[in-house]
Structure 1
Amino acid sequence: MTLQRRQPRVAVIGSGSWGTTVASIVARRNPTTIWARSADTAAAIDTDHRNERYVPDTPLTPTLRASADLAEVVEPADIVIMAVPSHGFRGVLSDLAPHLRPWTPIVSLVKGLEQVTERRMTEIVDEVLPGHPAGVLAGPNISGEVAAGYAAAAVIAMPDQHQAAQLRDLFRTSRFRIYSSSDVAGVEIAGALKNVFAIAVGMGDGIGAGENTRAMVITRALREMTRLGVAVGGDRETFSGLAGLGDLTVTCTSVRSRNRHVGEQLGRGVPIADVLAGMTQVAEGVKSASVVMKLAAEHGIDMPIAREVDAVVNAGASVEDAYRGLLAVPPGHEVHGDSW
């Protein structure tokens, strides 16, 4: 007699666009429940198989369940996927901790850094839930395209490469390719930094800086990302991969990119408060800019592009002054130089 292996039960915490999209993918093979803070959102997903606020005009996998009761979602779970914004990550993780089974893996979808502590999301997991394996899924993934079935790819990073390979099958479909990695720090720092740089590119688009300028900023942003990423323990090769160059490219160029949108509106003269007030989802780069500058200072890394974004977003500098400031920095050796 052949015994069939039970499919792991999955809890997805957070019902924004990417959390809902990933939950719908995972639910194709695994029993999956998504936690929504709003009871109305949970009911719409559970009953109508829709999340019109965040994933409009897209039917979700019919077997996907939803609840606004965190304990109900977490208690049966063999795997937990965290899809809440960085500023709420620690609080929600603390709330679910009493309901979590021992050694349950935690996979983060969050591309940001905690403001006060400068922690990556997996570092927060290590603090709040010691002993639970913590990893991250990231890549060039515009949620609307993935939800609609466009071909895409991502990388899952776990400290244990074997576990990363095992979890890879949780997310893959015929059109969503999943690669594995053990470079958790590199994948996470790339995901946080690309949002900051997308604001920089958007600012240039907003003032009409041109396509050559956009290519220059993206290329040199990759250099800044790599230098800081390696300094915090990442693998240099990670930054030329899906979580680095791939995600940086799509976030800096897509009209669907929230962070690029923020930069573009700033370039058009819209105050940051008004830009954020008009958005329904979080642009992580706004919150990450100041954290990135603190990390850069701690590691002695010069990051002119990130510095100018931080000046515009958090110190009231103008976009025009930011770009003038960048052009005033003398260029050095392209590969071995210390500046942008």
Structure 2
Amino acid sequence: MKKVCVLGTGSWGTALALSLAKNKFEVFMWTRRKEQADYINKNRENTEYLPGAKFPENLNVTDNIDEAIKDSEIIVIAVPSQSVREICSKLKGKLNSNQILVNVAKGLEKGSGKRLSEVCKEELPNSKYVMLSGPSHAEEVAKELPTTIVVSSESIESAQTVQDAFMSPSLRVYTNPDLIGVELGGALKNIVAFGAGICDGLGYGDNTKAALMTRGITEISRLGIAMGAKVITFTGLSGIGDLIVTCTSMHSRNRRAGILIGKGYSLEETLKEIKMVVEGITATEVAHDVAKKLGIDMPITNAIYGVLHEGLEPSEAINRLMTRNKKNEVEHIGL
């Protein structure tokens, strides 16, 4: 039985570990907390992040990262985006040339504005890197509901290896060579999903959400093209696909956080209520800064940034978006 490991025991990392275990891999998950490892190994369930999903015998948890990565053909990095550099740093000098890193975090690094593949390459320049993204809630993947995801890498061989590892009757995996586009689609859709939640919290309807999602994918494409992505990627699983699932589901912590903000909660109260990392909040700040440096117009991102960091009332943010100067729909997309 081939060995793989998942670094991180959040809901998404757990769901992916379960999927790999069902595909007959020996799977080790790594956690920083020994008490969590002991609890999950004893109870055979991650009740903190993915209750109800029972662990099979070939899935175990350790707090020893060296034990987790030793002899693992695939190393899945399943931590929040702002922790990716730290985890990669822990792996320095410990990987062999055949091991493949699979990052599943969706975000941009705060401060540098770098994509996570760039972060990993800085810390582990000789590693094989694959990004896994797409419309996929952990809760549904764990229940084996039909799901499609996408993997991308500068190495087609690495991408295909990861594709084969995760493919199952309930999890269909595509490859896409546009690593920049796949990364940015996954990171930037969280901003729009946060905005969709704000609209829900304000009591707006389907028309509003459709407008936000449509103009949101335009913003994502505009910034993505400026950063080197291919526009067609944003019509696929890591673009429109991920946008739809994140903007419309209560599984989405970005949307749930936005709903609370729309209802008048403070950012501190919102994070306390959600209890997990809300990637869209950091992504808004980073994308706002990157767009400014590149001279890219992102009115939705700017409006959400105003709500989060400048005291702008959510209803006034919507009003400002609606009363902007008239535009041609397809101008300035980069097509």
User: Same fold judged by TM-score > 0.5?
Assistant: yes
1:268 matches 2:268: no
Structure 2 gaps of 5+ residues are: none
Q: Which residue of 1 aligns with 2:95?
A: 100
> 1:18 aligned to 12, 17, 41, which one?
12
> 1:155 aligned to 143, 150, 155, which one?
150
Q: Conserved in 2, the CA contact under 8 Å of 1:75 and 1:101? A: no
Q: Which residue of 1 aligns with 2:201?
A: 206
1:50 matches 2:40: no
**Which AA in structure 2 matches 1:189?**
L
Q: Conserved in 2, the CA contact under 8 Å of 1:11 and 1:74? A: yes
Q: List structure 1 runs of 4+ shifted beyond 4 angstroms.
A: none
State the Cα distance separating 1:11 from its structure 2 match.
1.6
Q: Conserved in 2, the CA contact under 8 Å of 1:78 and 1:104? A: yes
State the Cα distance separating 1:120 from its structure 2 match.
1.3
> Which stretch shifts more, 29-38 or 247-256?
29-38
Distance in 1, matches of 2:310 and 2:168, equals: 44
Instruction: For 1:61-76, list aligned pairs within 5 A.
Output: 61-76=56-71
State the Cα distance separating 1:337 from its structure 2 match.
4.3
Q: Secondary structure at the match of 1:278?
A: helix
State the Cα distance separating 1:338 from its structure 2 match.
6.1
**Which AA in structure 1 matches 2:324?**
V
**Which AA in structure 2 matches 1:234?**
A
Instruction: For 1:308-327, list aligned pairs within 5 A.
Output: 308-327=303-322
Distance in 1, matches of 2:300 and 2:286, equals: 14
Q: Conserved in 1, the CA contact under 8 Å of 2:256 and 2:274? A: no
**Which AA in structure 1 matches 2:92?**
A
Distance in 1, matches of 2:148 and 2:10, equals: 20
> 2:278 aligned to 264, 283, 292, which one?
283
Distance in 2, matches of 1:337 and 1:331, equals: 13
Q: Which residue of 2 aligns with 1:297?
A: 292
Distance in 1, matches of 2:176 and 2:105, equals: 17
Q: Which residue of 2 aligns with 1:3?
A: none
Q: Secondary structure at the match of 2:97?
A: coil
Distance in 2, matches of 1:330 and 1:91, equals: 44
Q: Secondary structure at the match of 2:18?
A: helix
Distance in 2, matches of 1:23 and 1:10, equals: 9
Q: Which residue of 2 aligns with 1:41?
A: 36
Distance in 2, matches of 1:244 and 1:260, equals: 16
The verdict on how the C-alpha distance between 1:338 and 1:188 changes in structure 2, with shifts beyond 3 A counting, is: closer
Instruction: Give the TM-score normalised by structure 2.
Output: 0.96
Q: Conserved in 2, the CA contact under 8 Å of 1:126 and 1:132? A: yes
**Which AA in structure 1 matches 2:18?**
S
**Which AA in structure 2 matches 1:232?**
M
The count of aligned residue pairs is 333
The verdict on how the C-alpha distance between 1:182 and 1:338 changes in structure 2, with shifts beyond 3 A counting, is: closer
Q: Secondary structure at the match of 1:137?
A: strand
Distance in 2, matches of 1:260 and 1:92, equals: 27
Structure 1 gaps of 5+ residues are: 1-6
1:125 matches 2:120: yes
Q: Conserved in 1, the CA contact under 8 Å of 2:257 and 2:274? A: no
1:80 matches 2:67: no
Q: Conserved in 2, the CA contact under 8 Å of 1:332 and 1:338? A: no
Deviation digits for residues 239-279 of structure 1 (CA, Å, limit 9, x no counterpart): 00000000001101101110001111000000011100122
RMSD, aligned α-carbons: 1.5
Q: Which residue of 2 aligns with 1:245?
A: 240
**Which AA in structure 1 matches 2:188?**
L
Deviation digits for residues 2-35 of structure 1 (CA, Å, limit 9, x no counterpart): xxxxx54212100000001101111222121110
The verdict on how the C-alpha distance between 1:15 and 1:289 changes in structure 2, with shifts beyond 3 A counting, is: same
1:136 matches 2:131: yes
Q: Conserved in 2, the CA contact under 8 Å of 1:141 and 1:154? A: yes
State the Cα distance separating 1:156 from its structure 2 match.
0.5
Distance in 1, matches of 2:326 and 2:250, equals: 30
Q: Conserved in 1, the CA contact under 8 Å of 2:195 and 2:304? A: yes
Q: Conserved in 2, the CA contact under 8 Å of 1:77 and 1:101? A: no
**Which AA in structure 2 matches 1:265?**
L
**Which AA in structure 2 matches 1:67?**
T
Instruction: Give the TM-score normalised by structure 1.
Output: 0.94
**Which AA in structure 2 matches 1:23?**
A
1:336 matches 2:331: yes
Deviation digits for residues 284-315 of structure 1 (CA, Å, limit 9, x no counterpart): 01111110011112222100001111111122
Distance in 1, matches of 2:316 and 2:161, equals: 49
